[in-house]
Structure formats: structure tokens, C-alpha cells
Structure 1
Amino acid sequence: MTLYGTLVLLHVIAAVVGLGASFAMPFITKFPKTVSQAQFALRVNKQVEILPKIGSLTLLSTGLIMGFLHTPLFTEIWFVGSLVIYLAAQVIVAALIPKQMKELEAAVERNEGDALSSDYYAIHKKIDSYSYILHASAVIMIFLMSVKPF
């Protein structure tokens, strides 16, 4: 297998591992009904988020290395478009969702009783909105890289 072929394989594996876990994360915190369930879900989410972080960095590095090995990729709209979408998604992943997750954790901590407050669900709804954008972005990037429409 060539170096380029190895990079493509690593890129695909990173996408499966990282994106698969990131698609599951919103569901982990969506269904708790009690404070103890929410605390457990938040702990699980923190462990699961390691996979998307590793996958994301691997996707970026393998993608850029493939581009530098085959520089005409930087003139392809599908390639550049995927990079732009990736970078835009990182704003959500690195800034917006972590802020909302801290608010979600704070809502659980200040919760009185065992039933979750409406704050928890309101904050989770915001996280869901960001997740939908990220999931749509991932699907678009996968489409662009698979079909290479332009």
C-alpha cells in the first residue's frame, strides 16, 4: 500500500471512529430523567468525547497531508469546501458546545430534588441545535469527499 493509500485508510477509520461517537453524544445526555442519571450521562459523555477529539485531529492532519502530497487537491472545490466546513464546525465543537455543556453541568449541580429541572432540558435543546448543524456538516463533508461533485 502506498503512503497516500495508508493516509486514506487512516482518514476513513478516523471518520468512522470520531464521527460515530460524535453522533451518539447528544443522545447520551438527552434521556436522563433524574439528577443521578444526568450526572452519570455527563460522566459517560466526557469519556466518549475523547474519540471525536482524536478522530477530528486525525481527519485534519491526514487530509492536509494528502493535500500536500497531491497539491492539485487544493484547487478542487470539494476539497477546499470540506476544509472550510470542517473549520466552521470546529467553532461549534471547540467553543459553543463546551460552553453549553458547562451550563448543563451547572444546571444539574444546582438542581434541587431528584427530578431534572426545566433548565436542563432548555440547555440540552440548545446543544441539540448545534449537534444538528454538526451532523449535517459531517454528512455534507462525507458527500463531498465521496462524490467529488466539483
Structure 2
Amino acid sequence: MYTYVLFVHLVAAVMGLGAAFGFPIVAKSAKTVSQAKFVLNLLHKLEVLPKAGSILLLISGIVMGLLETWLFKEVWFIGSIVIYLAVQFIVAGMLPKNMKKQLAALEGVQGEELPEAYLVLGRQSAKLEGISHLAAFVLILLMVFKPF
């Protein structure tokens, strides 16, 4: 049973992290107001992948711990859960709010030049995404190498 849950965990990671790692690349591609509106709407639609992946990651991770209760005594396992939950504050709370603010910053703009407010919010999102990507890298390191 554990192997099947681990498989679900890995698929969820690929599904969620793959899409999330692509978001900054797509977001930075917008050079005009029209492109930015399209990109923000596209990213909003693609959010379903990281959201579903995140939920599956949490559920499958906890189920693996319930199947192999010794995992709850491992620092790397507990640390992974703590880091995961901390990052959810960014990816489920802060980043979606920034996207909404960016879309609002584009409303009523005349012409195609991106407003400064949009660009500032984009830089804020890029920093938050960088933090979440670093956390994902640390999580992968912890789960693969199980250092403690």
C-alpha cells in the first residue's frame, strides 16, 4: 500500500511543482497590457494543477506517515511538513492576492504600456515565487537524502 501512496505523492509533486515552476516564466513573458491580461487569466486557469497537487501532496504525505508511523519520529519528515505548511501561506494566500492586484492595476489603463503598479507587484510575486521554489528544492533534498 505504501508504494501506491508514494506513487500518488510523486505524481502530485510533478503535477503541482511542474506547473508552479512554469508560472514565473509565463508571467514574465507579458510585455503589453493585453498580453498581461491574457497571462494573468491563463495563470488563474492553470492554478488548478498546483492546488490539486498541493492537496494530494499533503494527504499522501500524511497517509505515508500513518502507514509507516516511524516517519513521525524522523526530523526530515516533520521538517518537510512544517516547511510545506509554511510555504502554503505564500502559494495559497499571498501569490493569488498579488495576481488579483496585478489584474486590478491593469483595469482602465489606456494604451499598451504596463503600469508601474503592475511591474512592482510582479517583482513582489517573483520574490515570493523564488522563496517557494527554494523551499520546494529543500523539501526534495530532505525527502531524497533524509539527512536526519
Query: Is the structural similarity TM-score above 0.5?
Result: yes
AA in 1 matched with 2:26: I
Equivalent-residue separation in structure 2 for 1:86 and 1:111 (angstroms): 38
Matched ranges for 1:118-133 at <5 A: 118-133=116-131
Letter in 2 for 1:144: L
TM-score normalised according to structure 2 size: 0.97
The sequence identity of aligned pairs, in percent, is 46
Question: Which residue identity lines up with residue 59 of structure 1 in the other structure?
Answer: L
Unaligned runs of 5+ in 1: none
Moved over 3 A (4+): none
CA shift, 1:128, in A, is 0.4
Partner of 1:44: 42
What is the aligned counterpart of 1:82 among 59, 80, 83?
80
RMSD of aligned alpha carbons: 0.9
Residue 25 of structure 1 contacts residue 49 of structure 1 at CA under 8 Å; is this kept in 2? no
Superposed counterparts of 1:135-150, under 5 Å: 135-150=133-148
Amino acid of the structure 1 residue aligned with 2:45: Q
**Aligned position for 1:107:** 105
Give the alignment's TM-score, normalised by structure 1.
Answer: 0.95
Q: Could you tell me how far apart the structure 2 residues matched to 1:46 and 1:123 are?
A: 16
- Report the Cα distance in structure 2 between the residues aligned to 1:146 and 1:82, rounded to whole angstroms: 11
How far 1:105 moved relative to its partner?
Answer: 0.6
